[in-house]
Structure 1
Amino acid sequence: MKGSILRLRATKLSLILITLVCTMFLLWGWDKAPFLVSLIPQSQSLRLSPDTFIGSPMNAVSPEPKKDADNLPNSATNEASDKPEGYDKKSNGEDGENFKEKVWDASVPVDSANTSSVFTKKEKGNIPYQVKKQTCDYAKGNWVADDNRPFYSGGRCLQWLSEMWACRLTDRTDFAFEKFRWQPRDCEMEEFSGKKFLRRMRNKTLAFIGDSLGRQQYQSLMCMVSGGKLRHDVIDVGWEYGLVKARGALRPDGWAHRFTRTNTTILFYWSACLCDLQPVNPSDKNSEVAMNLDRPPAFLRRYLDRFNVIVLNTGHHWNRGKFDGNHWVMHVGGVPNLNKNVAEAKNFTIHSIVKWVDSQLPQHPKLRAVYRSLSPRHFFNGDWNSGGTCDNTNPLSKGKEVLKEESGDPAAAMAVKGTKVKYLDITALSELRDEGHMSRYTIKPRQATGQDCLHWCLPGIPDAWNEILYGQLSALGRF
């Protein structure tokens, strides 16, 4: 019996010694023998190629326009024919002030201009869980019929909406164009909510800076946030930004309004060329005006510290007709520019303003900057001054889907590349919606025969731009 026990103990001891020896051999081999390591599958590493910024914007240009195609007549809907709106009206409405405050509540900040993480949370028992995380290219997708559109009534949102863009007040009778939403290909955008927008923008300011298409986007957002309802809690704060009507002027240089319950300010500043304009001879009212292509607008420099979101755009004033009518003379480095090519000057300016804004972002960590691409024109069978029309009323007659990789506005896409300025690429998706323009419709009969195939009916296509903007800002996380 004793012998059996001793043999069993000896066997166990041998096994332990063998195990220790094998372990030591493996550890030594792991350190010395590369072939052991090669047995483990290797993970692939991501290789990121640094984006390059064009050294001289003048190297990437478009051909000089053959005619002043965008110089709309005052008798149509040129910006100079606008009447000032009664923005000092007061209103009421709910903005969700009783909810616990949240700022842009995506949990992961995203650096890419056209990507975002989309999170859908559902309840499983009592535990919320994440069910979707996708990248989102907002520029790709398709238009989808949606009876929940529009977000507001074009006949009632007159507190913010210019009458000349409220197609419900015109002699137009078809409004099928209002019943579509943009659906990105790779993700579900968060549904726009005016209440949620105001909660997330509590104590913040969003500024649109650009031309009349920027003004349309501003008016669209004001109507979307308010639901097109009269709001007595919204006050005119234009005076805080010097946006008051000067003596003899048709309108102020912009508008600013504040939703007092959340202290949210939304404003628009008129800067058709996104560069600094200064009279060459300030004492002469007929003086030429220096377009300083390499300087941002003075308004933007002065108030940048007060902004949390800026949305920039330019494009349709870069033609000889506008230059001559406004007495604009191109300057670079404080002196007249010898290169008179308008298209090259536009591209140079877009690169210049984007580069300047990008340089300011490190000093303004709570600022988000967005550059919006060019809004397309749809003049058929001529131009604005040669019988061009946009009479189509059939939605999506040009197609409903955008799948191409390149942007419809290559100059803008190239300018934002390699910067932290986000890109709101709306050109291609808007190109499909030629039925959404003001066209020949007006409130009062006019003698002019020209059609407006540049500006959009509201509600309309600019609402989709703001939905995408809302999605992009939500994806950027806290700021």
Structure 2
Amino acid sequence: MRLGSINGLRCKQLKLVVLAFFMIFILWKWEEGTYYNTENLHPDSLVLTHPANSRFVDQHTSSEEDFPSVDSFPDSVVKVEKQATGAPPPLSAVSVSVDVADEKEASRSDPKECNHRNGIWVSDKRRPLYSGFGCKQWLSESWSCRLTQRIDFDYEQFRWQPEACEMPEFEASQFLRRMQDKTIAYVGDSLGRQMFQSMMCMATSGEEREDVEDVGVEYGFILAPGAKRPDGWAYRFPSTNTTILYHWSSTLCDLEPLNSSDPTTSYAMHLDRPPAFVRDNLHRIHVLVLNTGHHWNRGKLRANKWEMYLGGVPNNNRNIAVIWKAKNFTIHSVVKWLDAQLPHHPHLKAFYRSISPRHFFNGDWNTGGSCDSTSPLAKGSGIFQNHSDDADAEGAVMGTRVKLLDITALSRLRDEGHISRYSIKATQGIQDCLHWCLPGVPDTWNEILAAQL
């Protein structure tokens, strides 16, 4: 009995061994025939890197900014981007990746999303899109570096090539046809006004246009007594009924005189209210571009007699009273309000433009800071990163229908494109390393805007 049991057990074990070998054989044949079939292998879409060509770029300029949290780079990993298809080879292709873990995760997805933030500056002899000599009708002479003593203009001949998509060539008449019966509004500080003037030059190809109508009065843009300029401009192209306008609002706060009968009165700076102009005209606007940033400092508030208000009363919240926190609160407040309005205005596309970087080196604007570089892309030509350099702007639009027009990192590579010491109105010894020469970098901001419309 015992011997029979042992033999039966051995027989079962033998059957199991045979069955195991059979299963292994089946799996091996399946893997050989399918999994390792070369016809089923897909090429990896990862961006190739070339360690031999890698260069470290140190672009931390936080000590020179009013708000380091906005304009400073985080710790970064530098790598070299692939050359864009059909694009001329860049001078260099240095890029910044914020989060390696995020990058590895993103690399598994195919295809890559085109966000226009990442890409390279490439030389393009077809640039600029208009002449600084010819666009006098729309362009402030102090921003037209062709009218100054500057003799180097290489900065005019670059275009931005996004990494994962082709950016359509801007063509004035085609753009105006696309914007038929539409109004494009820029609301912000002087960098917003540069973008507005850039668009006017681009839409007219920098040519004199007697047919373009000044319709500023329709939007309340009149020169107030004692003012140097109106608080905005608006022009209409009759052929397509396209209106392009700009409204001055350096902080995006609603400003209200505390005593309207007193010409020296202070102003309530409502951190939780968008500008009255935007509230009153939102229904007339089809493309809205907002920006703020460089006017948020104590000097500007004192000079303009702006007093922070919250909930219709003077702000007593010490935490919000900190300048950079007040700015962030305002940006989030305006974007949140705008997002709530969008369902009621389905025709409207809203953008918040990230901050334009300053390039003062060896001091600030009033302490001998300069931007004398005439070498385009001396610190690299490419950007690849998973987050915006303007974390405040990125955080404000996150989860909303307001789009981020992210121009900070790509503009940071263009320190040679500022007005520098060539500004007509600049005081001797003071350089303008905040505003840009036009034609120049703001044209690219508008090209990116046009590509997203």
TM-score by length of 2: 0.75
- What letter corresponds to residue 460 of structure 1 in structure 2? G
- Residues 188-197 or 453-462, more deviating: 188-197
- What letter corresponds to residue 335 of structure 2 in structure 1? V
1:293–1:332 contact (8 Å) kept in structure 2: yes
Query: What CA distance in whole angstroms lies between the structure 2 residues aligned with 1:318 and 1:442?
Result: 23
The match for 2:291 is: 313
Asked if residue 462 in structure 1 is aligned to residue 442 in structure 2, the reply is yes
Higher relative contact order (CA 8 A, sep 6+): 1
Equivalences for 1:382-397 in 2 at 5 Å? 382-397=363-378
Query: What CA distance in whole angstroms lies between the structure 2 residues aligned with 1:66 and 1:136?
Result: 32
* 326, 334, 339: which one aligns with 1:353: 334
1:69–1:383 contact (8 Å) kept in structure 2: no
The match for 1:448 is: 428
Equivalences for 1:280-359 in 2 at 5 Å? 280-338=258-316, 339=318, 340-359=321-340
Query: What CA distance in whole angstroms lies between the structure 1 residues aligned with 2:146 and 2:226?
Result: 31
Asked if residue 259 in structure 1 is aligned to residue 237 in structure 2, the reply is yes
User: Shift in Å at residue 66 of structure 1?
Assistant: 8.4
User: Shift in Å at residue 442 of structure 1?
Assistant: 2.9
SS at match of 1:243: coil
SS at match of 2:350: strand
The match for 1:139 is: 117
* 364, 367, 374: which one aligns with 2:345: 364
Structure 2 unaligned segments of length 5 or more: list them.
Answer: 1-61, 68-110
1:428-448 alpha-carbon deviations (Å, 9 max, x no partner):
00000000000000337x653
Query: What value does the CA root-mean-square deviation take over the aligned residues?
Result: 1.7
Structure 1 unaligned segments of length 5 or more: list them.
Answer: 1-64, 71-132, 474-479
Identity %: 62
The match for 1:436 is: 417
Equivalences for 1:98-247 in 2 at 5 Å? 135-247=113-225
SS at match of 2:307: strand
Figure out how many residues of one structure are paired with residues of the other and give that number: 347
Asked if residue 413 in structure 1 is aligned to residue 391 in structure 2, the reply is no
* 367, 383, 407: which one aligns with 1:402: 383
User: Shift in Å at residue 335 of structure 1?
Assistant: 1.1
SS at match of 2:166: coil
1:263-317 alpha-carbon deviations (Å, 9 max, x no partner):
0000000000001000112222212111100001000111111000100000000
The match for 1:50 is: none
- What letter corresponds to residue 403 of structure 1 in structure 2? F
Judging changes above 3 Å, is the alpha-carbon distance between structure 1 residues 397 and 325 closer, same or farther for their aligned structure 2 residues?
same
Query: What CA distance in whole angstroms lies between the structure 2 residues aligned with 1:361 and 1:227?
Result: 32
- What letter corresponds to residue 435 of structure 1 in structure 2? E
2:423–2:432 contact (8 Å) kept in structure 1: no
2:388–2:406 contact (8 Å) kept in structure 1: yes
2:64–2:360 contact (8 Å) kept in structure 1: no
Query: What CA distance in whole angstroms lies between the structure 2 residues aligned with 1:258 and 1:431?
Result: 33
Query: What CA distance in whole angstroms lies between the structure 2 residues aligned with 1:360 and 1:197?
Result: 26
Query: What CA distance in whole angstroms lies between the structure 2 residues aligned with 1:177 and 1:184?
Result: 18
SS at match of 1:227: coil
- What letter corresponds to residue 195 of structure 2 in structure 1? Q
Query: What CA distance in whole angstroms lies between the structure 1 residues aligned with 2:64 and 2:126?
Result: 41
Higher helix proportion (structure 1 or 2) = 2
Query: What CA distance in whole angstroms lies between the structure 2 residues aligned with 1:397 and 1:387?
Result: 22
1:68–1:320 contact (8 Å) kept in structure 2: no
Query: What CA distance in whole angstroms lies between the structure 2 residues aligned with 1:143 and 1:66?
Result: 26
1:77-131 alpha-carbon deviations (Å, 9 max, x no partner):
xxxxxxxxxxxxxxxxxxxxxxxxxxxxxxxxxxxxxxxxxxxxxxxxxxxxxxx
The match for 1:378 is: 359
1:69–1:384 contact (8 Å) kept in structure 2: no
TM-score by length of 1: 0.71
- Structure 1 runs (4+) greater than 3 angstroms displaced: 65-70
SS at match of 2:333: helix
Equivalences for 1:33-48 in 2 at 5 Å? none
